[in-house]
Amino acid sequence: MKKKCSACKEVKFIADFYKNKNSKDGHHLQCAECILLSIDKKARTEEGFLRRRYNNISQSPRHQCYFTFEEFQEAFKKHLKKYGMRSAWGPHHLPITMIHKGIRFGTRGRKKGQSPTHSNLSPDRLNSSKPYTIQNLIFIRFDENSRKKDTTYEDCLAQIKLYEERFGEMKAI
């Protein structure tokens, strides 16, 4: 069976359309390729990029999120005023990018075999033992987030204490 896509106007096999139980024939009006292109186009805007990051947080079964997308957007605007397009993680505050590489079903926003963009914006929790709240939200780079994900707040305090003992008072082990 074939169907005409409402976006590209091409006649394609019904298997090229996502299922939609609310339509007469049980499939979307647009073919899967046109839907993905539309999502890609939106994701390449700042708002689209931020919305995808917010959705990753708010729809995660592992974490609780206590703010809306509008509050998330406002927090990012405050970040921009303070740091510009740079990471909140110091001391160097490295540049942040918002590079969207394309959406393909089942590959979490990247094409198969594509590595993440390490400089991309990654919203994170300042204290990973607490939920996502505006107070606990920071905007850092993907590579910084990856490095810190296994470090707890208590680990950081212990490292700071050890650092201050060694270098604050200039003592050896």
Give all domains of the chain, ordered by start, each with its CATH number: 44-168 (3.30.40)
Give Cα separations from 35 to 5, 21, 28, 48, 123 (angstroms): 10, 17, 9, 15, 26
Residues with Cβ within 8 Å of 53's Cβ and at least 6 positions away in sequence, in order, are: 121, 122, 123
Amino acid identity, residue 93? Answer: H
pLDDT given for residue 100 in this prediction: 74
Spell out, as residue ranges, where the chain has pLDDT lower than 50.
105-108, 110, 173
For the CA atoms of 162, 164, 168, 172, the dihedral, rounded to the nearest 10 degrees, stands at 0
pLDDT given for residue 107 in this prediction: 46
pLDDT given for residue 153 in this prediction: 79
Buried-state track 116-147, b at ≥16 Cβ within 10 A, e below 16? ebebbbbbbbeebeeebeeebbbbbbbbbbee
pLDDT given for residue 105 in this prediction: 47
Give the residue among 51, 101, 110 at the shortest CA–CA distance from 76: 51
pTM of the model: 0.69
Alpha helices in 86-152 (DSSP H): 142-148
pLDDT given for residue 111 in this prediction: 54
pLDDT given for residue 84 in this prediction: 95
pLDDT given for residue 170 in this prediction: 60
Dump pLDDT digits (tens) for 40-55. 777 778 899 999 899 9
